[in-house]
């Protein structure tokens, strides 16, 4: 058994832990911004292939003292690096954390690099080179006061990068955050029951892409071609290929109606590109419409999910307030019987919706303190 750490957006650790159990992994321990568990190699690969909420999958290779540079060096050098990396390969080091002696992450990362290279040089007579952009092996070190956790990053590029390079706006949602928000909203269980999904301010379509892929049952890792384990000496290609084949041969689930609209034609063009990159272009209908003209599709009620404007730039606060009020009006007038989930950029903006949320989930979108509002449309408007 191995120790795995799976980082995720802060506050969404229970969502990730639940997803991992659904993927067949053991129950993990929720930390701040991560879930940690003991599991075998197959579980690590299943998480890489199937998790939509995790940011990375880190496999621990050492845990030891690191009060100062000497202790850090010794702890890292204690790892038999020849079992993980060849001397002619490349590496990169990510270092997180400080203490009174190790105050600069750049210096600490160099200590880690030196320890790995010195160990390999003594064992093989050669030392690897550094490639910060596309290394054969990426090493992640987390410093917790006077002890450090040394891990191999099996992911390579962050796991949320699965949408063909489509970028968002001022406060974009990463794909793993969007997936977590949808899970909190009861998707994809609602999709399996045939409920439709609507985003009346879809922008570049992150929520729609994730919603459609989740409904269809796609394994997100199938869209990736580069992995952190590709240059790892202990990678089990036969096991990985078996899991990939298993995921590809899984029959797709039916996708209920999914509709997005936005007034910005450029954003909609990017949304279409992102859907096409994942083979989802036939699963989502996109309309160029102002918010005030958004309407539900024919059929039973379902979920409205949207990332409302945050007013993040100077002068945008008034527009964000007006948009939130307009959204509340559209929901009251045209989506009765539906269930809305609205990401508001602040508690003050959340109050402008004019509908009383059943619950408010505190969500961090990067450094922005947001609220994921659970709003039954039948709720009465806030008075006064």
Whether 143 and 188 share a structural domain: no
Q: How far is the C-alpha of 278 from the C-alpha of 155, rounded, in Å?
A: 19
Flag whether 65 is in a domain: yes
Whether 10 and 74 share a structural domain: yes
Flag whether 244 is in a domain: no
Whether 191 and 278 share a structural domain: yes
Flag whether 239 is in a domain: no
Whether 60 and 189 share a structural domain: no
Tell me which of 120, 153, 186 is where a domain ends. Answer: 153
The per-residue pLDDT for range 31-49, each reduced to its tens digit, is 999 999 999 999 999 999 9
Flag whether 345 is in a domain: yes
Whether 192 and 280 share a structural domain: yes
Whether 282 and 361 share a structural domain: yes
Whether 34 and 73 share a structural domain: yes
**Which CATH number does the domain housing residue 303 bear?**
3.40.50.150
Domain count, the chain: 2
Look up the pTM and report it: 0.93
For every one of its 384 residues, what pLDDT tens digit does the chain have, with 9 covering 90 and above? Answer: 999 999 999 999 999 999 999 999 999 999 999 999 999 999 999 999 999 999 999 999 999 999 999 999 999 999 999 999 999 999 999 999 999 999 999 999 999 999 999 999 999 999 999 999 999 999 999 999 999 999 999 999 999 998 655 655 555 789 999 999 999 999 999 999 999 999 999 999 999 999 999 999 999 999 888 899 999 999 999 999 999 999 999 999 999 999 999 999 999 999 999 999 999 999 999 999 999 999 999 999 999 999 988 765 544 788 889 999 999 999 999 999 999 999 998 888 889 999 999 999 998 888 888 899 999 997 444 443
Whether 96 and 33 share a structural domain: yes
Tell me which of 153, 186, 203 is where a domain ends. Answer: 153
Flag whether 318 is in a domain: yes
Whether 98 and 190 share a structural domain: no
Flag whether 77 is in a domain: yes
Flag whether 64 is in a domain: yes
Whether 270 and 369 share a structural domain: yes
**Which CATH number does the domain housing residue 115 bear?**
3.30.2130.30
Tell me which of 153, 184, 203 is where a domain ends. Answer: 153
Whether 257 and 341 share a structural domain: yes
The per-residue pLDDT for range 194-246, each reduced to its tens digit, is 999 999 999 999 999 999 999 999 999 998 888 999 999 999 999 999 999 99
CA 194 to chain centre: 25
Domain of residue 139: give its range.
2-153
Flag whether 322 is in a domain: yes
Whether 108 and 257 share a structural domain: no
């Amino acid at each position: 058994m191995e120790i795995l750490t799976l980082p995720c957006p802060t506050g969404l650790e229970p969502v990730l832990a639940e997803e991992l159990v659904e993927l067949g992994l053991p129950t993990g321990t929720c930390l701040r911004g991560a879930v940690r568990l003991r599991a075998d190699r197959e579980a690590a690969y299943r998480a890489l292939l199937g998790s939509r909420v995790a940011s990375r999958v880190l496999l621990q290779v050492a845990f030891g003292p690191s009060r100062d540079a000497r202790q850090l060096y010794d702890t890292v050098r204690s790892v038999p690096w020849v079992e993980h990396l060849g001397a002619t390969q490349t590496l990169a080091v990510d270092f997180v954390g400080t203490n009174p002696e190790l105050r600069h992450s750049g210096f600490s990362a160099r200590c880690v690099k030196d320890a790995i290279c010195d160990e390999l040089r003594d064992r093989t007579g050669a030392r690897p080179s550094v490639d910060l952009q596309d290394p054969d092996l990426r090493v992640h070190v987390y410093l917790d006061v006077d002890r450090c956790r040394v891990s191999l990053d099996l992911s390579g590029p962050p796991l949320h990068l699965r949408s063909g390079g489509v970028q968002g706006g001022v406060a974009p949602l990463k794909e793993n955050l969007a997936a977590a928000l949808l899970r909190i909203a009861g998707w994809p269980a609602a999709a399996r029951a045939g409920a439709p999904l609507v985003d009346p301010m879809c922008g570049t379509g992150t929520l729609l892409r994730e919603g459609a892929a989740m409904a269809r049952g796609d394994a997100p890792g199938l869209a990736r071609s580069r992995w952190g384990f590709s240059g790892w000496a202990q990678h089990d290609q036969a096991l990985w290929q078996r899991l990939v084949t298993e995921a590809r041969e899984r029959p797709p689930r039916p996708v209920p109606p999914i509709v997005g609209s936005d007034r910005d034609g450029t954003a909609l063009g990017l949304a279409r590109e992102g859907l096409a990159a994942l083979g989802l272009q036939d699963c989502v209908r996109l309309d160029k419409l102002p918010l005030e003209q958004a309407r539900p599709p024919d059929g039973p009620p379902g979920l409205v999910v949207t990332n409302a404007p945050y007013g993040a730039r100077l002068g945008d606060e008034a527009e964000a307030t007006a948009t939130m009020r307009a959204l509340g009006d559209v929901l009251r007038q045209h989506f009765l019987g539906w269930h809305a989930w609205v990401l508001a950029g602040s508690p003050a903006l959340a109050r402008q919706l004019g509908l009383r949320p059943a619950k408010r989930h505190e969500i961090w979108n990067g450094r922005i303190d947001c609220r994921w509002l659970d709003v039954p449309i039948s709720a009465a408007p806030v008075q006064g």
